[in-house]
Structure 1
């Protein structure tokens, strides 16, 4: 049994893609789908053990070049390391067709309780790191050869209470996406973003229990009345990486079940809804917090 992508087999054959934060969560799923579609994957993250686990899964599930991912450890906030790593990836693969800036992280806190150090850490992780990765991929390969960059942001349009540092960084990444799309279009580089809403991923279980419990209830405020799946997010990413999106750049696709449309004074109508979630990722495991009470 392998990844059940909605896309045609082989669309990424002969191509190489970098996925940051690919040791778990969204990144792991995205890397799996790219490989299932024939692409070679450079797995980037800070923890080698996690990257090796993802690599072993991909090798087990795929044959040929797609079943031979490579692991690269890096703190994407480290400019010198990012520059060197992109050189290493090019030496190993000979090309970079796409970059998925997925790596990021944050902690739950009120604005008044966030220190300057905590603020800087999250902004550098969720904004500066993506900039450095994009800049180096562009400088070292895409400026001459073209390619596609997809940035994972967030649903931040109405603010992001309790995670204001991340909301500010993600909004910055959205603006960077549009600027890079304009500046790099002459090099045939497309730059887009995917903005996830409440996607049921392993990250849910990394927050304190009271925060995770609140997240579990967020489905009540989504018109589709459920959390999204990792595969639904990955599908949007793979579409933007694919040739089908050849005339799409500088935009953001929201994968959020219509959450921004739901307002307390005018919620979506109650009633039965058939759960039509797409579960293409065969190795997906539902977060523990969502299993409770079932």
Structure 2
């Protein structure tokens, strides 16, 4: 449930938020919070049908201010297509004030079984896609003195079993975030990252976990629960708001303290979920 009693419902009225990977999961949850606070939204992903469904929901949430929602299909790896998406956004709903770089790919695979193409795919979606979106958005963000939010992951902080590709990509994103904060602060552009913990009811959780794994790990999290997409959405609107006007180059862990316990339980569980091809030969 979206909780907005702490922020004015017109906080982002007249502001434009562009979200990559915005048609589902955590990124759609982030979009809901910006919509509920009156933002115009451009949601970008590879599947137009999924984006259209999400847009219908978001239009109801920002209807109180007559907000606009633009579902625009583009692959973040395709610079030209993404550039066109940003061009449409500026022409139809206004220059971007907030970029949420959230498009990501993931799967479980032992490093010795990981193909070069599999590694490259995750690097391109996560890291290259984040750079493409930031680089294209720069001109608009410079005009609006806007901000960038990168959606990262705990795999960047310490190693996780069967996640060498994801850890490399997310570590690159965290470093990119800090470099842009350093370089683009002179233009009034803030750059920050959010590291979600395990978030319930998402495609990522369904792909990377199972009921037995969840039962064991949930109790080990210091706050005693998995996160919700609303936890990430609330963090995002805070970092993009005037309340965070002097925050840049920061990685905000929204994980219930799960990073404090490391990845040992994860590693044990995924080793049982995915057999190693090399052990079978």
CA deviations 1:71-103 (Å, max 9, x no partner) are 100000111111222111111122110000111
| Equivalent-residue separation in structure 2 for 1:220 and 1:22 (angstroms) | 30
Deviation at 1:19, TM superposition (A): 1.1
TM-score, normalised to structure 1, is 0.84
3-state SS of 1:184 partner? helix
- Contact 1:19–1:42 (8 Å) recurs in 2: yes
When residues 201 and 101 of structure 1 are mapped into structure 2, their CA distance, relative to the original with a 3 A threshold, is: farther
- Contact 1:18–1:98 (8 Å) recurs in 2: yes
Residue 154 of structure 1: aligned partner: 153
- Contact 1:149–1:190 (8 Å) recurs in 2: yes
When the two structures are aligned, how many residues end up with a matched partner? 262
| Equivalent-residue separation in structure 1 for 2:217 and 2:144 (angstroms) | 43
| Equivalent-residue separation in structure 2 for 1:205 and 1:88 (angstroms) | 33
Task: Indicate whether 1:19 and 2:19 are aligned.
Answer: yes
| Equivalent-residue separation in structure 1 for 2:43 and 2:210 (angstroms) | 29
Residue 198 of structure 2: aligned partner: 198
Residue 169 of structure 2: aligned partner: 169
| Equivalent-residue separation in structure 1 for 2:263 and 2:98 (angstroms) | 40
When residues 185 and 207 of structure 1 are mapped into structure 2, their CA distance, relative to the original with a 3 A threshold, is: same
TM-score, normalised to structure 2, is 0.87
Deviates more, 1:36-45 or 1:210-219: 210-219
Write out aligned runs for 1:195-234 (5 A): 195-204=195-204, 206-207=206-207, 211=210, 213-215=212-214, 217-234=216-233
Name whichever structure is richer in helix by fraction.
2
- Contact 2:110–2:161 (8 Å) recurs in 1: yes
CA deviations 1:106-165 (Å, max 9, x no partner) are 111111111000000001111110110001100x31234310100000113221221110
- Contact 1:205–1:212 (8 Å) recurs in 2: no
When residues 78 and 179 of structure 1 are mapped into structure 2, their CA distance, relative to the original with a 3 A threshold, is: same
**What are structure 2's unaligned runs of at least 5 residues?**
265-281
- Contact 1:47–1:73 (8 Å) recurs in 2: yes
Residue 35 of structure 1: aligned partner: 35
Deviation at 1:201, TM superposition (A): 3.3
When residues 130 and 66 of structure 1 are mapped into structure 2, their CA distance, relative to the original with a 3 A threshold, is: farther
